[in-house]
A and B are shown apart, each in its own frame.
Chain A
């Protein structure tokens, strides 16, 4: 430090005229000028930053109303009150998960984007979320995380992928046979005909309770298919909605406008065993060909009535914190990538070229040269993220729906809730503020150390 002072201001000392009076007057003048330059900053920092820290520390030893000194009670309560411990635990998850993911993702993208021509455009795109507010980002993700796959883009994709892999037999969760005596429910949730049928027969299975929005657009009237006769050794029929829109239909009969239900599995059961399976077409037809003669029962298996896969409940209590961390990554990955990219650009090209010449492959170069050389930058990204993540507020506040606010709460939201948002316990609120401050003290010390080192 003293080195800086000497370095910076040697001129003044020597150039002022000798003689005690003018010199001390000049010194006083210099002090006054300095004070003039500093005064606004010192006033604001003193009254709005330094004083509040002292005030909060003091206030944290008093009760909610501020009248009674309670010692460290607020601090012990912090770790006992379930809502507050939940917030502390969530903040811990944030601090562990987010920096690791952010640094890793930034590193991968920075290295990969070095190899493309449109790197500048890519970086610009990735960096853009940094310019917008957490509030806007929160709204963006609140919409994207919407649970209904018809509206939330994430669940629309999840359901799409799920259905592509697990077959798309459409379930009609609310459907049930029109006549529960002819097609009674089984214990496992399936429905089986009471009467047996044989090859050469036709059997129509009428269901009701399918709301119009669940009926696929492709569904066609079933009457024609129903009246088609079965060939020899064939067992066929339709599964249809036994309900005529606007009335006029007869229960148990396929009326002209009544539609078939496509995509349902129909099973032929003999002696309690499923011997054949068919799937209904758009007009509801199912056919079993070449069935050995005998008596069969027709069964609509439970999966016909299973709830359609609805995707993941991103904003539910169990996934809310990971979901919000995802939104956070969306905002900050550009920062991490650009910072690491700047570090990459300043790596000694010779070392990399030499390694390549020696026949090292890209992975070896990455692990043995790039990452170690980049470690200071990676450290910066990591520490920066840790500090930022401790203070995360807006995103949690906006993305978590009211009922799951508790499950998503972190230190900053809890502190806000306790002191302003209805809790009105300023003692505990101040203690939480002090905790936040204590948590960033290591970063503070690091800053000071770096600074002093850079000056010496």
Chain B
């Protein structure tokens, strides 16, 4: 839905991510004369109220996550007898023991690497395959092109749930069920409609003259694609890469069904632990943070592209 608004933006506009774009400065309203100090005071006051309210909201938003982080630094025993906020009075009781303990568990470490082994290829494949298809839909001429592309647009909102059962049967007969390649392929397939849509729209904004000139010079389509379209499409490709990577990294449902014990990612390994909630917060809390670290680093390192990608990809 955001599609046409955000995804379809021309190259220049996409650089201005909503999050970083400070709302066009509400010019410090040239204090209109005649209102007097009372109005000025009222304005200051309401501004103070707004600040206090937003500060409160921010605090509320921060608390649950901070709570889990504090819990992850406390011993199992402390956690079972008192709340994490008690740790503020005895900071010395905090330690990274839980993390060390967690990293000693080979299945958790394995699950972490599985997550990497699923996310990286699933992202690379989506970007490559979608870039190829996006170029074809934007600049190559073949019969039925627009109809095929409409089918892709329709597929944007197809829920992954519909594929779980049939694909698990299909993978079963192909020997892919329960393996990392199976999980990757499923992610790629369900990531493609949005990826193709995003890149096709972006590529379509490239000035026609540039492509025509390249074709006149005898450039093959492959050469035009790699030398011209890909470099020009970099902003969209960056957004797509980050969005897809986090999407796959954070997935639980697909891996829950298509991965077996050896190939399960961190999310699945942790969810089995949630079944005995309460008794093992010492594993869950640091585990959750282990799974959070990569997305958070990506988030802060590439906020601009991330926000852009999420905005465009919200339809999924």
Interface residues of A, Cβ cutoff 8 Å to B: 1-2, 4-5, 8-9, 11-12, 15, 30-31, 33-35, 37-38, 40-42, 44-45, 47-53, 55-56, 59, 109, 112-116, 119-120, 122-136, 138-144, 146, 150-153, 156, 330, 333, 335, 338-339, 341-342, 344-345, 349, 356, 377, 380, 383-384, 387-388, 390-391, 393-394, 397-398, 401-402, 412, 415-416, 419-420, 426, 429-430, 432-434, 436-437, 440, 443-444, 446-448, 450-452, 454
Contacts and interface: CB of A to CB of B under 8 A. Distances in A.
B275 interface: yes
A53 B158 contact: yes
Interface in B174-230: 185-186, 188-190, 192-193, 196, 204, 208, 212, 215-216, 221, 225
9 contacts: A55-B165, A130-B310, A139-B68, A139-B284, A156-B85, A342-B21, A344-B23, A393-B252, A450-B3
Interface in B34-67: 47, 50-51, 53-54, 57-58, 61-65, 67
Given A34-B136, A380-B1, A419-B165, A112 B252 contact: no
A59 to B, nearest CB: 7
Contacts of B193: 45, 49
A34 B47 CA distance: 59
Contacts, number: 331
A132 B141 contact: no
A122 B54 contact: yes
Interface string B258-300: 0000000001001100110110010011001101100110110
Counting from the closest, the 6 A-B pairs by CB-CB distance are A133-B250, A48-B189, A52-B166, A342-B18, A41-B133, A131-B299
Contact of A131 (B137, B204, B271, B295): B295
B314 interface: yes
Contact of B26 (A8, A114, A139, A342): A114
A135 B250 contact: yes
B185 to A, nearest CB: 7
A33 B24 contact: no
Contacts of B212: 11
Chain B interface mostly: helix
B135 to A, nearest CB: 6
Given A120-B20, A128-B299, A450-B4, A437 B150 contact: no
Interface of B: 1-5, 8, 18-24, 26, 29, 47, 50-51, 53-54, 57-58, 61-65, 67-68, 71, 79-85, 129-130, 132-133, 135-143, 145-146, 148, 150-167, 169-170, 185-186, 188-190, 192-193, 196, 204, 208, 212, 215-216, 221, 225, 246, 249-253, 256-257, 267, 270-271, 274-275, 277-278, 281, 284-285, 288-289, 291-292, 295-296, 298-299, 303, 306-307, 310-311, 314-315
Contacts of B148: 38, 42
A300 B294 CA distance: 59
B69 to A, nearest CB: 9
A45 B19 contact: no
Nearest to A327: B64
B142 to A, nearest CB: 4
